[in-house]
Amino acid sequence: MPTRIQQRWNELRASGGKALIPFVMAGDPDMRRCLEVVLALADAGADIIELGVPFSEPVADGEVIQRAGGRAIANGSFLPAILDLVKQVRKQSQVPLLLMSYLNPILRYGFEKFAADAVAAGADGALITDLSVEEAGPYINVIRGDANGRNAEAAKPRHNFDTVFLASPTSTAARLRRIVEYSTGFVYAVSRTGITGTQASLSTAIVPLLAKLRALTETPIAAGFGISRPEHLAALAPHADGVVVGSALVKCLEDHLDNPAPHVAEMARWLREGFKETGVRS
């Protein structure tokens, strides 16, 4: 059975559309307002929403996401509460949800319990920032039940849960092959070397990386890191199946902590305009 993430890509492919994938930190600024933000984003046309799991040592994140993680941790936003948030979303929306986490909170929770509880709550997959493909065998094994940690048996996974991996401009051809082999749902192409955060113009490294990935896989490819404006979406639309916007939206949330949902949703709509400029469905 396809996950909600896979179903959404199928719909987008049928209509020729591209995916807007907003990131928000779960529990930022608190669970109630985060739920409002997620639902508002779904209404604003978010195709998949990434829900961040905060970690005390976010080595791959810039200051905006670090601060969001700090607010979430202060509110006790850890996996049990985050999976409860997912359940709350599911009462009102079928928007695909991808959990984005560092490894240690999931390791501590336990892979098997994490996969079972996340699927039961209504989450559709996870991206674990510091879990390299070399170290992913035990995790993939839990999700797909293949002793080699490869997705040859993905047709009958143990958990209906996507495993998204990062690809980077520094990834070698051999690494990219392994990354696409392990990724289900989509492959997340990091637009540049560096940490999360906004920048004025797009990196020149992203289009060649998207082309390399496209040659390797039919799995959808989303670009992320440093994407903050409609023109970035317009520039990427011909090369990627979707784009992830994180820090720009989180910064918008941070600027409107009292009632962030309408502001974040408005920004998402503004970002989507970028897809229209290239003539794809928005």
Partner 1 sequence: MIETKSQPGEQGRFGAYGGRYAPETLMHPLEELEQAYFAARSDPAFQAEFDYLLKNYVGRPSPLYYAKRLSESLGGASSGSMPGTKIYLKREDLLHTGAHKINNCVGQALLARRMGKRRIIAETGAGQHGVATATVCALFGFTCRVYMGEEDMARQRLNVFRMKLLGAEVIPVTAGQRTLKEAISEAMRDWVTNVEDTYYLLGSALGSHPYPLMVRDFQSVIGKEAREQILAAEGRLPDQLIACVGGGSNAIGLFHAFRDDANVKMIGVEAGGRGTGLGEHAARFSGGTPGVLQGTFTYLLQDNNGQIVNTHSVSAGLDYAAVGPEHAMLHDSGRAEYTSCNDSDALDACQRLMLLEGILPALESSHAIAEVIKRAPKARNEIIIVNLSGRGDKDIEILQRELKL
From 30, 6, 210, 12, select the one nearest 98 (Cα to Cα): 6
Give me the residue label for tokens 């989509």. 186
Report phi then psi at 163, rounded to 5.
-115, 105
Closest distance to partner 1 from the beta carbon of 188 (Å):
9
Is residue 96 helix, strand or coil?
coil
Within positions 31 to 60, which residues make up the interface with partner 1, using CB under 8 A? 55-60
Catalytic-role residue among 47, 50, 124, 241? 50
273 is catalytic: no
Distance CA(251)–CA(68), nearest Å, equals 9
The continuous run of DSSP H or E covering 98 comes out as strand 97-101
| Burial class of residue 148, CB neighbours in 10 A (0-12, 13-18, 19+) | exposed
Query: Does position 135 bind partner 1 by CB under 8 A?
Result: yes
Q: Minimum CB separation from partner 1 for residue 70, in Å?
A: 8
Single residue of 123, 131, 222, 249 touching partner 1 by CB under 8 A:
131
Q: Does 216 bind partner 1 (CB under 8 A)?
A: no
Q: Choose the stretch contacting partner 1; rule: CB under 8 A; options: 34-42, 147-155, 162-170, 251-259.
A: 162-170
Closer by beta carbon to partner 1, 14 or else 174: 174
Closer by beta carbon to partner 1, 101 or else 151:
101
Q: How far is residue 98's CA from residue 52's CA, in Å, rounded to a whole number?
A: 9
125 counts as binding partner 1 under rule CB under 8 A: no
**Active-site residue, 61 included:** yes
Q: What angle do CA 140, 142, 145 make, to 5 degrees?
A: 85
139 binds partner 1 per the rule CB under 8 A: no
From 106, 235, 248, 271, residue interacting with partner 1 (rule: CB under 8 A): 106
What is the closest distance, in whole angstroms, from the C-beta atom of residue 62 to partner 1 in the complex?
A: 8
* Closest CA relative to residue 151, chosen from 6, 4, 269: 6
Q: What is the per-residue DSSP string for 110-126?
A: -HHHHHHHHHHHT--EE
Binding site for partner 1 (CB under 8 A): 55-62, 66, 73, 78-79, 102-109, 129-132, 134-135, 165-172, 175, 179, 190, 193-195
- Give me the active site residues, please: 50, 61
